[in-house]
Structure 1
């Protein structure tokens, strides 16, 4: 009986679901899966891309943990593909590989001043407040007035974390350096800008509703944004999610603080719709001093057109939350325009010929771009796994498929990898750190400390 030795690069939801789907799939061969992750801890963006005050979403970790804890998937953390392990190494030791490396870079905002001092990618800020080991410990939070560009859930997460009082984050798992940074924040006003109208936003009702529940934060909306065209009225009438979003926004419009009147709160969160980014205006030293936008209007079909009216809001910081972008992988075809690995249903394709690269597959955001929720990731993995199973004739022929050989290779190269037992040690350590403070956990941030604890050194 044939045995498939499979490598999966990336231990976030996409990689773990792919492993789980393959082990549960109907097939005529045995399977042995090794999961490689460049960070010392698994779970990817569920650990490092979800705001710490979202314990419901973090509940996904429980399902992922259940998969790993079955013991039929080996995990090698703190192993970087392209540095510690190459494509040639994978061909030497496995029959196939699935890349599930996600999308963690910020999409560029192509306007003048986007690289100003005080202009940040939202993904970098998320990584900071989630205690990612590869970002600086400190974050500049000197701005009183801040612009957040984007109308998706990441934009709302960033806005909420900027506007929320740090005491209200104490029950969460934020690391000490993040608490200290947010406690020193000078922010009073957070302005969220979206190019289209309230009926075309990309965030979910749950995310939106949480904004209005922030303590000592006034929600500020503007009446001019709610003169709906027929397409918006149709969207509200026919789409339940849009209907709920509109209901939330309309309830906020009834508050005393709405329409720029201002309430009694010490912080304000402004929602600006029909605002197309034009420029981040800077001073002589290159620091952000204003966000410049063109007022748009509905085109009658769910889109917008420019009005020619230019406005600006004084700000000292800008956060670009317009989406994530994939990163190229050494030796693997890459579509620089869309930030994905070119593929057909997960089969990686050569850019020149569109032919399947034997033995190479992709799943998750590096496969389809940074769209969709966890449910999409599951079905996505299933599609890729189906091709892995059916492509048996074109698998690689590894010279050393023995399970022990990859451990020997990493040991010879001096790679300090972490395994599942190591993650359990780190997990228990973080939970223990949180217990005296009645917190779920306190994350360990420095990579070397994560590795030391995981390896029991």
Structure 2
């Protein structure tokens, strides 16, 4: 045996770095790639749904080429703009998304508005499949008189304001009144309440935007009421969010004990998660101090109430309060229905925040859209009445669930797409050019896409600015400034 040749080969193997192995593997794949084995897929939306869909596609098919198009110059969607700034652990998923974006068969194209800069039909011509994962950018309306008054805000816009979403940077919410009312009892409602009442020393250590921090420092809001149309057994928030409210420094609960009458008798029959959640609410009621307290801020739930009208100031321009209709429940458990009694109750407040849900919007006339459900009609992610078009995330199922829900949903869509390739439902027999034709088309229209490496320049600049003031980052709030950073 020629031991020198054997040991030489082993030595050569040990000298190969992970990068060189990946390069060789990539080269072999390109050599073996034929039009029928190299599908090109375009994903519209660079949030959790888009990245999870891309992640599964890349893992499931060894020759899949994926391009992600995002309206903003920056990726990650609601992970960046929806997760509360004092929940940094939830944002760790960005590390996974970054690995996907840096994959050799994946490209990120930011600063591209699909439906405006490039049509869905043009994308379908350039790719074997297009996956719509652009989320829910609209607000559900209250549908009551006075909702357009100054002092009424959607939770989506308010969250976007303190999280640095460029389109919300000029919101300037009026925080000059003592009482704020939040309509809705989901996790977002509790996020908003917590941010309104949090001590500044907590917020200054987060990536909350500086203008928001300054506004909250001057805020006169001392009492936040979180209103729901049903009862304590139907709240939509989780025990984690409730525990954070209960333990929030410098605050005390402001509850109505009568709202929990009869709840103790049904506790034993509740599913364990609902039981623990309800027990924590009841504990907060029992342990709430009876005195007002000169410095403490207050938060509390109001149940069986639905908005009837936002009450105006005498000049009919500002919010002075809200009229709530009093409900009764028909049925029990999650299926209980709120029925109006005809009675009303007025609450004086200077701010009303509607947290009754986000809503997807149509992206392109060529894409089917159900205006009633505010989703793209689909069957397990396949868009109805068209071929080569798929959807995932909120635009597929509606704005419900947490990030893990979106992950599972996106994986389902990716599996369906792969299945369609394998069964021939999705024709990949003809080569598609992908971004090779889309990018020149965008440049011709005056649109300069932002790559993931360009985003990393923005990322570095934000962290640099944050380090100066002792924060993890100071977000850039203006798209023009982001693009300037990219090209500096």
Stretch deviating more after TM superposition (426-435 or 74-83): 426-435
Q: Does 1:306 align with 2:306?
A: no
**Structure 2 CA distance for partners of 1:253 and 1:279, relative to 1, 3 Å:** same
| Structure 2 partner of 1:186 | 220
CA–CA separation in structure 1 for the residues paired with 2:448 and 2:399: 31
Query: Which residue of 409, 415, 419 maps to 1:390?
Result: 419
Distance 1:245 1:409, change over 3 A: same
Cα distance, 1:328–1:396 mapped onto 2, change above 3 Å: farther
Larger C-alpha radius of gyration, 1 or 2? 2
The CA deviation at 1:407 is: 2.6
Q: How does 1:142-153 map to 2 (within 5 A)?
A: 142-153=176-187
Shift of 1:23: 1.3
- Equivalent residue for 2:287? 255
| Structure 2 residue 209 is the aligned partner of structure 1 residue 175 | yes
* Mapping of residues 3-14 of structure 1, within 5 Å: 3-14=38-49
Within 5 Å, give how 1:284-323 maps onto structure 2: 284-302=315-333, 303=336, 304-323=338-357
Asked if the contact 1:199–1:235 (Cα under 8 Å) also holds between the matched residues in 2, the reply is no
| Contact 2:117-2:442 within 8 A present in 1 as well | yes
Q: Which structure 2 residues correspond to residues 282-431 of structure 1 after superposition, within 5 A?
A: 282-283=312-313, 284-302=315-333, 303=336, 304-330=338-364, 331-349=366-384, 355=385, 357-392=386-421, 393-395=424-426, 401=433, 403-431=435-463
Q: Is the 8 A contact 2:128 2:432 kept in 1?
A: no
Which residue number corresponds to residue 63 of structure 1?
96
Question: Does the 8 Å CA contact 2:229/2:305 hold for their aligned counterparts?
Answer: yes
- Tell me how far 1:377 sits from its aligned partner: 1.4
Count the aligned residue pairs.
444
Shift of 1:71: 3.6
Residues 228 and 305 of structure 1: is their aligned pair in 2 closer, same or farther, counting only changes over 3 Å?
farther
CA displacement 1:297-341 (0-9 Å, x = unmatched): 343523243343321110111100011100111121111111111
CA displacement 1:377-408 (0-9 Å, x = unmatched): 12211221222223344547778515533332
CA contact (8 A) 2:439 2:449 kept: no
Report which stretch shifted further, 53-62 or 304-313. Answer: 304-313
Structure 2: which 5+ runs fail to align? 1-33
CA distance in structure 1 between the aligned counterparts of 2:191 and 2:183, rounded to whole angstroms:
12
Matched, 1:48 2:81: yes
1:100 Cα deviation from its structure 2 partner: 0.2
CA distance in 2, matches of 1:103, 1:257: 40
Give the superposition deviation at 1:375.
Answer: 2.1
For 1:207 and 1:143, locate their aligned partners in 2 and report how far apart those are by CA, in whole Å. Answer: 25
Q: TM-score, with normalisation over the residues of structure 1?
A: 0.92
Q: Aligned match of 1:436 in 468, 472, 475?
A: 468
1:214 to partner: Cα distance: 2.0
Equivalents in 2 of 1:367, 1:327: separation in Å?
A: 11
Q: Which segments of 5 or more consecutive residues in structure 1 lack a partner in the other structure?
A: 350-354
1:235-250 matched pairs, under 5 angstroms: 237-250=269-282
- Structure ranking higher in helix proportion: 2
CA displacement at 1:5 relative to structure 2: 1.0
Which of 145, 165, 178 aligns to 1:132? It is 165
CA RMSD between the two structures = 2.1
Q: Secondary structure at 2:311's aligned position in 1?
A: strand
| TM, length-normalised to structure 2 | 0.86
- Separation (CA, whole Å) in 2 of partners of 1:348 and 1:143: 47
**Structure 1 CA distance, aligned partners of 2:213 and 2:434?**
46
The secondary structure found in structure 1 opposite 2:118 is coil
Q: Deviations over 1:338-383 (max 9, x none)?
A: 111111111111xxxxx3x111110000000001122221221122
**Map of 1:352 onto structure 2:** none
